[in-house]
C-alpha cells in the first residue's frame, strides 16, 4: 500500500475544519467517500470539500474495495457498531472520542480489530499538538522534578441549548453520549494525563445534577491515583454564571509546577525558583492533522501512532469509575 484511502462516516461539524480537510493534506492520504444519513447534507459536504463519492449508507463504505481505512465521526452511541463493521471488512479504524459509550464496548472494538488484524486509533489529537507535546517534554526532562500531584478544573456556563429541553445537544443524552459534558470534555483530559504519566489504577468520584437542565450529571468531583503513584484530583461544573469560566490544570513536582489550559489557548506557565516562564504555542488550522499524519504513517509501516484503542479504552474505564 502506497496511499491510505479513507472513507468518512458522519460528516458533521467536527469534520468541517478540525479533521476532515486534513485527510487530503496529509502526505499519502486521500478521502475516497463520505457518508451521512441525510443525503442532501452529505452531497453538500462532498461538493464543498471536493470529494467525488458520497452516500447515505455506511455499508457502501464498508463494502468498497477502494477504501483502506474508515474515520468514524458519529456520536459515541454508534462508534462500536461502525468500528466493528469496519474491522470485519478488514479496514483500519480511526474513531472519534470518547471511544464509545461504555468500557465494555471499547473492549469489543479492540477484539474486532485484533481478530481482523487491522489497526484501531482514537481521536485524542492533543497527544500530537505542539502545545501539549511541550508540556510532555517539560515533564519527561524532569524540569519540575518528580511529579507529585495533578489538579484540574473545568468550570463553564451552560450552552444555549441547555435551557430548552426540546433542543438539547446529543452530548447531554446518556443513550447517545454515554454521559454528559463530562464524558465529552474530561475524556480529552484523562487521555492526556494517561499520555503524561501512564495508566490510572483507581478513580472515584461524586457527581450530581444541580439545575436539572438535562438528565445526566452537570457537576463532578473526582480523585484518582496513577500506577506511577501520582495523586490526581479534578472538578467539573457546567452550570457556572455566564461570565465565569475556569480552565486550569496544575502539575506539581518536587521542584516547581506547570500550569496550562486544555480548551483555551492560554500560555503554558512554568513556575520554578520563584520565577514564571511562559510558552505561547498556537494550534494548527486542522487540530487533528498531526495525529492523522501519524496514523497514516503507521498504516503504511513508516511510524507509530500514540493514540490507540488500548489507550483510548483506559479513558472510558476511568470515566465510568468516576460516575459509578
Q: Does 154 share its domain with 89? A: no
Q: Does 137 share its domain with 273? A: yes
Q: Evaluate whether residue 101 is within a structural domain.
A: yes
Q: What is the mean pLDDT of residues 88-107?
A: 98
Mean pLDDT, all residues of the chain: 98
Q: What is the pLDDT of residue 262?
A: 98
Q: What is the pLDDT of residue 94?
A: 98
Q: Does 114 share its domain with 180? A: no
Q: Kind and range of the H or E element at 153? A: strand 147-155
Q: Does 46 share its domain with 148? A: no
End-to-end Cα spacing for the chain? 45
Query: Facing residues of 53 across strands?
Result: 33
Q: Evaluate whether residue 210 is within a structural domain.
A: yes
Domain holding 38, by residue range, is: 4-124+287-305
Task: Answer whether residue 102 shows pLDDT above 90.
Answer: yes
- Rounded Cα distance, 269 and 74, in Å: 35
Of all residues in the chain, the percent with pLDDT exceeding 90 is: 99
Q: Evaluate whether residue 320 is within a structural domain.
A: no
Q: What is the pLDDT of residue 1?
A: 85
Q: Does 140 share its domain with 277? A: yes
Q: Evaluate whether residue 318 is within a structural domain.
A: no
Q: Does 71 share its domain with 165? A: no
Q: Evaluate whether residue 321 is within a structural domain.
A: no
Q: Does 136 share its domain with 264? A: yes
pTM above 0.85, yes or no: yes
With b meaning 16 or more CB within 10 Å and e meaning fewer, what string describes 213-241?
A: bbebbbbbebebebeeebebebebbbbee
Q: Does 240 share its domain with 292? A: no
Q: What is the pLDDT of residue 279?
A: 98
CB of 144 within 8 A of CB of 136? no
The CATH number that applies at residue 77 is 3.40.50.720
Q: What is the mean pLDDT of residues 254-281?
A: 97
Q: Does 137 share its domain with 120? A: no
Q: Evaluate whether residue 324 is within a structural domain.
A: no
Of all residues in the chain, the percent with pLDDT exceeding 70 is: 100
- Rounded Cα distance, 187 and 314, in Å: 10
Q: Does 49 share its domain with 165? A: no
DSSP class of 214: S
Q: How many domains, in total, are found in the chain? A: 2
Q: What is the pLDDT of residue 243?
A: 86
* pLDDT tier for residue 95 given thresholds of 50, 70 and 90: very high
Q: Retrieve residue 246's grid coordinates.
A: 475556569
- Rounded Cα distance, 235 and 65, in Å: 47
* pLDDT tier for residue 287 given thresholds of 50, 70 and 90: very high
Q: Retrieve residue 260's grid coordinates.
A: 496550562
- Rounded Cα distance, 215 and 148, in Å: 36
Q: Retrieve residue 323's grid coordinates.
A: 460516575
Q: What is the mean pLDDT of residues 147-169?
A: 97
The CATH number that applies at residue 233 is 3.30.360.10
Q: Does 141 share its domain with 271? A: yes
Q: What is the pLDDT of residue 199?
A: 98
Q: Does 104 share its domain with 213? A: no
Q: Evaluate whether residue 315 is within a structural domain.
A: no
Amino acid at each position: 500500500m502506497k496511499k491510505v484511502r479513507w472513507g468518512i462516516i458522519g460528516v458533521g461539524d467536527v469534520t468541517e475544519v478540525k479533521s476532515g480537510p486534513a485527510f487530503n493534506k496529509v502526505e499519502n492520504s486521500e478521502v475516497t467517500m463520505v457518508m451521512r444519513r441525510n443525503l442532501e447534507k452529505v452531497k453538500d459536504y462532498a461538493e464543498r470539500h471536493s470529494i467525488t463519492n458520497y452516500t447515505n449508507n455506511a455499508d457502501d463504505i464498508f463494502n468498497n474495495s477502494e477504501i483502506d481505512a474508515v474515520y468514524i465521526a458519529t456520536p459515541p452511541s454508534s462508534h462500536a457498531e461502525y468500528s466493528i463493521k469496519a474491522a470485519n471488512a478488514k479496514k483500519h479504524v480511526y474513531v472519534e472520542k470518547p471511544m464509545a459509550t461504555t468500557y465494555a464496548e471499547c473492549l469489543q472494538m479492540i477484539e474486532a480489530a485484533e481478530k481482523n488484524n487491522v489497526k484501531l486509533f482514537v481521536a485524542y489529537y492533543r497527544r500530537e499538538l505542539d502545545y501539549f507535546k511541550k508540556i510532555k517534554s517539560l515533564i519527561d526532562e524532569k524540569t519540575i522534578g518528580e511529579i507529585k500531584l495533578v489538579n484540574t478544573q473545568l468550570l463553564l456556563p451552560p450552552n444555549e441549548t441547555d435551557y430548552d429541553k426540546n433542543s438539547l445537544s446529543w452530548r447531554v443524552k446518556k443513550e447517545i453520549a454515554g454521559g454528559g459534558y463530562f464524558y465529552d470534555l474530561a475524556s480529552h483530559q484523562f487521555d492526556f494525563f494517561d499520555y503524561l504519566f501512564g495508566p490510572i489504577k483507581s478513580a472515584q468520584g461524586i457527581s450530581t445534577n444541580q439545575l436539572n437542565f438535562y438528565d445526566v450529571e452537570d457537576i463532578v468531583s473526582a480523585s484518582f491515583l496513577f500506577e506511577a503513584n501520582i495523586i490526581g484530583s479534578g472538578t467539573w461544573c457546567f452550570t457556572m454564571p455566564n461570565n465565569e469560566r475556569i480552565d486550569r490544570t496544575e502539575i506539581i513536582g518536587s521542584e516547581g509546577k506547570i500550569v496550562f489550559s486544555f480548551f483555551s489557548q492560554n500560555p503554558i506557565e512554568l513556575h520554578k525558583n520563584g520565577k514564571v516562564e511562559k510558552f505561547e504555542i498556537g494550534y494548527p488550522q486542522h487540530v487533528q492533522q498531526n495525529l492523522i499524519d501519524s496514523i497514516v504513517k503507521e498504516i503504511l509501516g513508516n511510524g507509530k501512532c500514540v493514540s490507540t484503542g488500548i489507550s483510548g479504552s483506559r479513558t472510558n474505564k476511568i470515566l465510568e469509575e468516576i460516575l459509578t
